[in-house]
Amino acid sequence: MATILIVEDDLSLLQLYKIMLEFEGFETYGAHNGEKAVNMFKSLTEKPNIILMDHRMPIKNGIDAAKEILAIDYSAKIIFVSAEPSVKNKALSIGVIKFIKKPFSHDYLISSIKTILNLSECSNII
């Protein structure tokens, strides 16, 4: 079963993402700011298959958290989620695998996650 680390400071959104992704059969972890996400990523022995990362968060924003996570493990698959299209290029340039603009539909998120998971399975086979 694939695991997803959800990083979102809005607790009602974090909760809804969790219910939604668990409903689709994923195992989830939640972090409500960038710093907590980095610490959680460090502490997990089994690294999550996908990280769903919000951008504007207190303490540490999504770009900084993504940079730190990618510095620990460059193969980490981060899906960046933000209402600001202006951060898309920045996110992609640091190595984030996909940018999704808020608000997005459930189907789009799930199909993006599945595509990334399939791709990484292929690359593992190769």
Partner 1 sequence: MVERNLEGGRNINLGIKRNFDRVITTLLIEDNLGDIRLIQEMVKNLEDTLIKLEVRNDLYSGIQYLNRHEIDLVLLDLTLPDSYGLDTIESLLKSVNEMPIIVLTGTGDLVLAIESVKLGAQDYLIKGNLNETLLERAIYYSIERYKIMQKLKKSEEKFHKAFLRADFYKDIFTHDMSNILQGIISGVQLCNLYDIKKIEIDKIDSVTDSIKNLVKRGANLISNIRKLSKLENSSMIAKPTELCKPLKDSIFNLKNTYHSRTMDIKIDAQDRKFYVQSNSLLQDIFENILTNAVRHNLNSRIEIIISITHEIVEDKKFIKLEFLDNGIGIEYSRKNTIFMRGSKEDYSLIGMGLGLSLVSKIIKNMNGKIWVEDRVDGDHSKGSNFILLIPEVI
Binding residues with partner 1: total (CB under 8 A) = 26
Tally of CA atoms within 13 A in the half-sphere of 53 that contains its CB: 36
Residue number, 59 or 92, with CB nearest to partner 1:
59
Q: Which stretch binds partner 1 (CB under 8 A): 9-17, 40-48, 69-77, 88-96?
A: 9-17
Q: Which stretch binds partner 1 (CB under 8 A): 8-16, 41-49, 70-78, 88-96?
A: 8-16
| Among 105, 122, 124, 126, interactor with partner 1 by CB under 8 A | 105
Question: CA nearest 19: which of 37, 4, 34?
Answer: 4
Site membership for partner 1, residue 83 (CB under 8 A):
yes
Residue 24 dihedral angles phi and psi, to the nearest 5°: -85, 0
Rg (CA), the chain: 13
Residue number, 48 or 62, with CB nearest to partner 1:
62
Asked whether the beta carbons of 28 and 3 are under 8 A apart, the reply is yes
| H helices present in the chain, as ranges | 11-23, 34-43, 62-72, 88-93, 106-125
Residue number, 20 or 117, with CB nearest to partner 1:
20
Q: What is the DSSP letter of 86?
A: G
Site membership for partner 1, residue 103 (CB under 8 A):
yes
Residues of this chain that interact with partner 1 (CB under 8 A) are: 9-13, 15-17, 19-20, 23, 32-33, 56-59, 61, 83-84, 102-107
